[in-house]
Chain A
Amino acid sequence: MFSRAYRTTITVPPLLWVAVFLLVPYLLMFCYSFWSVSDSGTIMHSWNLDNYKELLAKPVYWQTLLRSMWIAARVMFFSMLLGYPLAYFLSFHAGGRKDLYYQLVIIPLWVSYLVRAYAWKTILGTDGVLNTLLQYVHLTSHPLDFLLYSPFAVVLTLTHIYTPFTFLPIYASLEHIPRNLVEASHDLGATPAQTFWRVIFPLSIPGVLAGATFAFVLSLGDFLAPLLLGGPSGIMISNIVVSLFGAAYNWPLGAAISLCMLALVLALLFFSERLEKKWSFS
């Protein structure tokens, strides 16, 4: 129904923009990862695999990557633990107050990432709200110093930030389940618990996958929460990249790590998408 001119007008400008500002930069990142940097700090455009060899040779890189994945996995798990039952409650038990509760979950999404990370810093610090509260009510005599500057603080903060993100796709998938399926299951003798595990949960899997991937990928690449709250033991892979692009001034090595991260993320997205397709029925 749309003319050629119309289709060209809507297609070409975004296509060009995306090519220049997304495709070319990714390709550049790819190129950089095969270049090297001279002692004087200039980029040597000679193609080699040295950066990747160094990544494999030095344990600090893959150890940090594993630690980042472990932190991201915990964030994913806890976001799910908080988000899924909440979404289920809203979708099936909240009755008329559903919309209000939904808005209440959304609002924290609008609060700045930085502000929320900062809020946790003021809560968890040695002289922070939590420690002074615990001493005020005489539960502890000394400040608990493991609260801040630890992987715990990073996991807690990222869970706080990504729980609403996890909630949204789960809630959407639960809302899409026709209610007569639940009735049919009860009608055929299944108790509410059996109905949940045999009908509701399987049909919500696409939402679970989307939410889980979201929480995992975004946590994996985070570098601000670790800088603010992580301390030395909470360093994540992106922090290394940041220092390589900054003080250490080794862009090619940084690009190689970024590219590995990108590959990992794309692989995850690919598999999660495949799984989602398998579990979506419409």
Chain B
Amino acid sequence: MEFLVSASTPMKSSRWLTAHALAVFAFLYLPIAILILYSFNGQGVGGFPPRNLTLNWYRILFNDAPIWDSVLNSLIVAAAAMVIALLFGIPAALALDRAQFPGKALFRRLVLLPLILPGIITGLSLLMLFRVAEVRLSLLTIVLGHGTALISVATTEVFAGLQKLNRAQEEASLDLGANYWQTFWRITVPNLKLSIIGAALLIFTLSMDEIAVSFFLIGRDNTLPLEIWGRLRRGITPEINAISTIIFMFSLIAIVFWYRLRTRAQVTPEIGAELVETSQTDSQLSS
């Protein structure tokens, strides 16, 4: 807003705002920076200044079989949860967009609820279900839990994509002789490609990181967050900093990947933004 330059007070408030923004960024990034820094610290987790920079913790980490088992478990869980969430979340978004059925309002609320509810409620209610159904807790129960909770993510992202999709495209396809199935695969899905990829990335990352639901549904095999959690309770070592740093790097790669995808496609949806916007209230879905 160029005209603000002309007045003196806005300049002052703008400077104040800049300082505030810098402070918030420092607050957001300082812990992450410290975490990474101390993964190279020879003297353990605490202690200022960091001394004897070393890659030792990474070496220990790479020889730590339980960690890598849990990483593998988490990858399997995340992939399976992603499939479930997309398999049911995409039709759910379509249904909310273009079908009328009794109980639609309740359905909408139920689907989105895990997004805003504290994980403990989702985790406990599923625990009771599995207890009553006499399903033994295992990675499978975690997959079902993550898949169910993250349907909400697929639904919100894809629904946002559907709102931007020009319905006339599908009508044109039907008009030109394609049936619904062909229209879905040739027109609807390509138009939603970015939303679906975004949702998939987000679901995968959220599942990799999920702990509150897993906490209650865990069987004998640990996921990575639960493995880390177990170690934290025993005491802290920079090995955890090292694995956290590696996770952070992978998250960054995912972000960059997504960002490049998005800028190439020149579309605006911001990964996760719809999520937070619509998760609170589903006013967007109710219109």
From known contacts A18-B107, A89-B18, A112-B225, infer whether A210 and B128 are also in contact, taking CB-CB under 8 Å: no
Contacts A25-B126, A107-B252; is A118 near B244 (CB within 8 Å)?
A: yes
CA distance A54 to B151 in the complex (A): 36
From A11, A92, A102, contact of B99 by CB (8 A):
A11
Cβ of B20 and Cβ of A85 under 8 Å apart?
A: yes
Let me know if A168 and B124 touch, CB within 8 A. Answer: no
Contact in complex: B91, A192 (CB < 8 Å): no
A204 at the interface (CB under 8 A from B): no
Asked, given contacts A221-B117, A258-B120, A262-B121, whether A113 binds B46 with beta carbons under 8 Å apart, the answer is no
> Would you call the interface of chain B mostly helix, strand, loop, or mixed?
helix
Contacts of B180 in A (CB 8 A): 2-3, 5-6
CA distance A241 to B119 in the complex (A): 13
CB neighbours (8 Å) of B156 from chain A are: none
Q: Which of B60-103 contact A (CB under 8 A)?
A: 87-89, 91-92, 94-95, 98-99, 101
Tell me the bound Cα distance from A220 to B117 in angstroms: 10
Q: With A17-B151, A245-B216 in contact, is A273–B35 under 8 Å at CB? A: no
Answer whether residue A34 sits at the interface, using C-beta atoms and an 8 A cutoff: no
Q: In the complex, which residues of chain B have a beta carbon less than 8 angstroms from the beta carbon of A222? A: 118
Assess the A224–B151 pair: CB atoms within 8 A. Answer: no
Cα(A18)–Cα(B113), bound, Å? 11
Q: Is the CB of B116 within 8 A of A22?
A: no
| B119 contacts A132, C-beta separation under 8 Å | no
Nearest residue, chain A, Cβ from B181? A6
Main secondary structure of the interface of A (DSSP, over half): helix
Residues in B15-71 with C-beta less than 8 Å from chain A:
17-18, 20-21, 24-25, 27-29, 31-32, 34-35, 38, 45-49
* Complex: chain B residue closest to A4, CB-CB: B99
Contact of A9 with B by CB under 8 A: yes
Bound-complex Cα distance A119 to B117 (A): 25
Residues of B contacting A276 in the complex (Cβ-Cβ under 8 angstroms) = 280-281, 283
Instruction: Contact check, B118 vs A220: say whether CB atoms are below 8 A apart.
Output: yes
Of the candidates A88, A115, A209, the one whose C-beta lies within 8 Å of that of B248 is: A115
Residues A110 and B251 in contact, CB atoms below 8 Å apart: yes
Q: Are A108 and B91 in contact (CB under 8 A)?
A: no
Contact with B along A71-108 (1 / 0, CB 8 A): 00000000000110110111011000000011111111
A110 touching B111 in the complex, CB below 8 Å, given contacts A85-B20, A251-B128: no
B13 located at the interface, meaning its Cβ lies under 8 Å from any Cβ of chain A in the complex:
yes
Against B, the Cβ 8 Å flags (1 = close, 0 = not) of A242-282 are 10010000010011001001100100010011001100100
Residue A21 CB within 8 A of the other chain? yes
CA distance A167 to B51 in the complex (A): 36
Assess the A111–B125 pair: CB atoms within 8 A: no
A66 part of interface (Cβ distance < 8 Å): no
Instruction: Tell me if A238 and B47 are in contact (CB < 8 A).
Output: no
A129 near B38: Cβ-Cβ < 8 Å = yes
24 residue pairs of the A-B complex, CB under 8 angstroms, read A2-B98, A10-B94, A21-B148, A22-B111, A23-B110, A28-B125, A85-B24, A109-B272, A110-B255, A111-B251, A112-B208, A114-B211, A115-B228, A116-B31, A127-B47, A129-B48, A136-B48, A172-B273, A214-B279, A228-B232, A242-B120, A255-B124, A258-B125, A277-B281
Across the A-B interface, the 3 shortest Cβ-Cβ residue pairs: A221-B118, A25-B125, A210-B280
Q: Please name 13 further chain A to chain B contacts, defined as beta carbons within 8 Å, in addition to the given A24-B129, A89-B21, A112-B209, sorted by A numbering.
A: A25-B128, A86-B24, A92-B1, A101-B21, A104-B28, A108-B29, A112-B251, A118-B244, A160-B27, A163-B27, A218-B116, A221-B121, A277-B281
